């Protein structure tokens, strides 16, 4: 979890100690003067009253329980206010209810604009389970209309994954991360459950005739060979990042030649046997150096970042990259991160290091020099695709054959942060409410005792 999120959680936990109890003593009810009052029965704690297993407030016997229904409704309102305050502090006003769906909507809009500008321009999407599917607990209903969901039986005591079939169907191609290696950590074999879920996404894409590329991450030659063999057996186009680290910034040390290297021209995805993922080209001093390096390879497809050590790729350099070493043609795609802003990019301002705009979040561990963004905000989307100097326009203008959109793990991380912050805020609010209730009950008990003592003293004072 990020440092800002951790700090917010700590602040919320501290709030439980600052309960609203001081004002509670003023809420003590006045007892009748003509008889000895019976102290009220203690009310159930707020956590119990608001429990999913407790009876609805409209079924509570008000004559017996007093004003419990109103208190429950008031407590729930207070809790929701505190949860909203916490999430607003973390994500700004009106964050999306579903971060993954907000990303899908963003991608759909971006794809529409790209293909309006250049009909047939392929827009591929990279993810693991993040936006291609949604996790639901046992027997829980997925948050989507059932016609867009591919159901599958969920074994006992296991979370299930529902594929967003509509989104998969509309993508021009998928890049799956970590089908066999590197799903959670570099070099580790992907757990069987996650691999099974990823294969269901692969099957759906293949049924719809969508190309599927796979990025594996492992360094062992034996594991690299195993990943390439398994991916090819499934009819997928593989690339293995065989060096550690978050950045895709160099040629893989193993294998030294492309998998299934060939001399044919690549006129479409059906001709693609292999590809190179080089999302960060900043290690190359110039576009000329990049062209010289990659021009000496026979990769069928290149997916490249756009900014090298001294600027951005030009149309001439992109055209030169479309030739293999053997002279055959190959497509070159641009890489576009859509949930992370990078320091040094054309839109980045120096003052943001100290005073970032509100749509910039915390640093992104997977992107050197990168910061997560509130990608649902119009400010960021203008940078990506709606301004005359947008990322998308730059990719179209320099002649890339297509684009790969990368949402990273940002939507899933935002969901985790919101769940953690909401849980802490709810617990803090409940603790404050219960502390106030205890203080009010104690004040009522003392008032009743004082009134009883006063009533008992009155007859004695009237005796001669």
Sign of the torsion angle spanned by Cα atoms 352, 357, 361, 367: negative
In a domain, 83, yes or no: no
List the single range of 56-60, 101-105, 116-120, 434-438 with lowest mean pLDDT: 56-60
pLDDT digits (tens, 9 = 90+) for 419-450: 998 888 888 888 888 888 899 999 999 999 88
Beta-carbon-side half-sphere exposure of residue 440 (alpha carbons within 13 Å): 21
Looking up tokens 């609805």, which residue turns up?
A: 56
Return the beta strands (E) in 319-451 as ranges: 332-337, 340-342, 360-363, 370-373, 402-406
Residue 13 has pLDDT above 70, yes or no: no
CATH code: domain of residue 113: 3.20.20
- Tokens found for residue 238: 């593989």
Question: Phi then psi for 177, rounded to 5 degrees?
Answer: -95, 130
Q: Is the pLDDT of residue 63 over 90?
A: no
User: What integer pLDDT is reported at residue 433 of this predicted model?
Assistant: 85
The count of domains in the chain is: 1
- Average pLDDT of the chain is 82
- Identify the band that residue 2 occupies on the pLDDT scale cut at 50, 70 and 90: low
Tokens of 93: 């006003």
Most confident among 140-154, 200-214, 359-373, 386-400 (mean pLDDT)? 200-214
User: In Å, what is the CA distance from 111 to each residue of 104, 124, 251, 373, 432?
Assistant: 10, 9, 29, 19, 48
Structural domain of 283? 100-416
Q: Is the pTM value of this prediction over 0.75? A: yes
Interior angle at CA 92, CA 86 and CA 97, nearest 5? 80
Q: From CA 464, how far away is CA 461, in angstroms rounded?
A: 8
- Over residues 24-49, the pLDDT tens digits come to 434 444 444 444 444 444 444 444 44
Residue at 112 is within a domain: yes
**Residue 158: pLDDT over 50:** no
> Is the pLDDT reported for residue 142 higher than 50?
no
Give pLDDT, residue 11: 52
pLDDT score of 155 more than 70: no
- Say if 311 falls within a structural domain: yes
Q: What is the pLDDT confidence band of residue 133, given thresholds at 50, 70 and 90? A: confident
**In a domain? residue 69:** no
**Whether pLDDT at 119 is above 90:** yes
Flag whether 3 is in a domain: no
**Partners of 436 in beta bridges:** none
Alpha-helix residue ranges (DSSP H) falling in 53-124: 62-65, 68-91, 99-117
Average pLDDT over residues 240-261: 96
SS3 state of residue 97 = coil
Residue 315 lies in a domain: yes
| 72 pLDDT above the threshold of 90 | no
Distance CA 404, CA 381 (A): 16
For residue 234, tell me if it sits in a domain.
yes
DSSP string computed for 21-33: GGGGGGGPPPPPS
Domain contains 238: yes
pLDDT digits (tens, 9 = 90+) for 163-218: 888 899 889 999 999 999 999 999 999 999 999 999 999 999 999 999 999 999 99
């Amino acid at each position: 979890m990020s440092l800002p999120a951790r700090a917010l959680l700590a602040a919320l936990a501290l709030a439980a100690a600052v309960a609203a109890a001081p004002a509670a003593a003023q809420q003590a009810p006045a007892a009748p003067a003509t008889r000895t009052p019976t102290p009220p029965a203690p009310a159930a704690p707020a956590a119990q009253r608001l429990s999913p297993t407790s009876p609805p407030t409209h079924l509570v016997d008000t004559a017996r329980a007093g004003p419990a229904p109103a208190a429950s409704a008031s407590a729930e309102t207070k809790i929701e206010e505190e949860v909203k305050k916490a999430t607003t502090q973390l994500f700004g006003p009106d964050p999306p209810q579903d971060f993954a769906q907000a990303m899908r909507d963003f991608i759909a809009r971006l794809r529409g604009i790209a293909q309006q500008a250049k009909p047939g321009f392929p827009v591929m999407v990279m993810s693991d389970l993040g936006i291609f599917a949604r996790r639901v607990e046992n027997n829980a209903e997925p948050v989507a209309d059932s016609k867009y969901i591919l159901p599958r039986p969920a074994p006992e005591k296991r979370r299930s994954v529902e594929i967003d079939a509509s989104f998969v169907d509309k993508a021009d191609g998928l890049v799956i991360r970590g089908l066999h290696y590197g799903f959670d950590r570099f070099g580790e074999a992907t757990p069987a459950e996650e691999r099974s879920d990823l294969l269901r996404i692969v099957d759906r894409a293949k049924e719809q005739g969508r190309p599927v590329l796979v990025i594996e991450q492992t360094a062992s030659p034996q594991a690299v060979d195993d990943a390439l063999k398994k991916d090819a057996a499934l009819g997928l186009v593989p690339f293995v990042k065989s060096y550690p680290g978050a950045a895709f910034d160099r040629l893989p040390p193993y294998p030294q030649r492309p998998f299934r290297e060939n001399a044919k021209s690549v006129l479409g995805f059906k001709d693609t046997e292999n590809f190179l993922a080089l999302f960060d080209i900043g290690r190359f001093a110039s576009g000329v150096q990049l062209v010289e390096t990659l021009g000496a390879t026979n990769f069928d497809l290149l997916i490249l970042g756009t900014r090298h050590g001294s600027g951005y790729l030009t149309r001439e350099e992109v055209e030169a990259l479309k030739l293999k070493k053997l002279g055959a043609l190959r497509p070159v795609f641009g890489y576009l991160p859509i949930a992370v802003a990078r320091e040094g990019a054309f839109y980045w301002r120096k003052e943001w290091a100290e005073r970032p705009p509100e749509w910039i979040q915390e640093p992104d561990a997977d992107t050197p020099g990168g910061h997560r963004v509130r990608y649902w905000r119009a400010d960021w989307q203008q940078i990506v695709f709606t301004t005359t100097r947008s990322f998308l326009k730059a990719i179209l203008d320099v002649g890339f054959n297509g684009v790969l959109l990368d949402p990273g793990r940002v939507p899933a991380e935002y969901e985790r942060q919101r769940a953690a912050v909401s849980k802490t805020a709810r617990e803090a609010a409940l603790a404050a409410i219960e502390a106030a209730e205890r203080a009010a009950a104690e004040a009522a008990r003392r008032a009743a005792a004082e009134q009883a003592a006063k009533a008992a003293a009155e007859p004695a004072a009237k005796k001669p």
